[in-house]
Copies of this chain bind each other. A is one copy, B any other.
């Protein structure tokens, strides 16, 4: 089966801390610049010859990141009961972004956060209903 995808990226800067001995020094309040990369997949192109409009995708991503940007994530309700790890942030952005893409056809969405030159995480799944 053939698959098309279209991807766009943006970035955000946040503070947070991580609970659990696993995290060592990252249990202290620190922060990160995340490059956020999203890919939307589809098995067919629309009449214009695209999976989705890049400008619309970038706007939807920007709106999704806005409530997180320049924030201490420890203070947000979403991250009171679970750690705002890179993996959890990928899933959170995937769910929030899916809601903004309801009008857009697409068989799947992958969200990748690059947290440093040597580490990243991603979450991919169907567009949440």
Query: Which residues of A line the B interface, CB within 8 A?
Result: 1-11, 13-16, 18-20, 22-26, 28-35, 45, 47-51, 53-55, 58, 69-72, 82-88, 90-91, 115-126
Cross-chain contact of A83 among B29, B49, B86 (Cβ < 8 A):
B49
Interface pair B30/A72, CB less than 8 Å apart: yes
Interface pair A11/B49, CB less than 8 Å apart: no
Given known A-B contacts A13-B32, A45-B87, A87-B50, A58 and B24 have beta carbons under 8 A apart: no
Pairs across A and B, CB under 8 Å, 13 listed? A2-B124, A7-B121, A11-B118, A13-B26, A14-B31, A15-B29, A15-B31, A18-B48, A22-B53, A30-B71, A31-B31, A45-B88, A49-B88
Cross-chain contact of A87 among B6, B55, B71, B87 (Cβ < 8 A):
B6
A53 to B47: give the CA distance in the assembly, Å: 38
CB-CB under 8 A from A72, the residues of chain B are 15, 28-30
Q: Which residue of B lies closest to A6 (CB)?
A: B121
A86 to B52: give the CA distance in the assembly, Å: 11
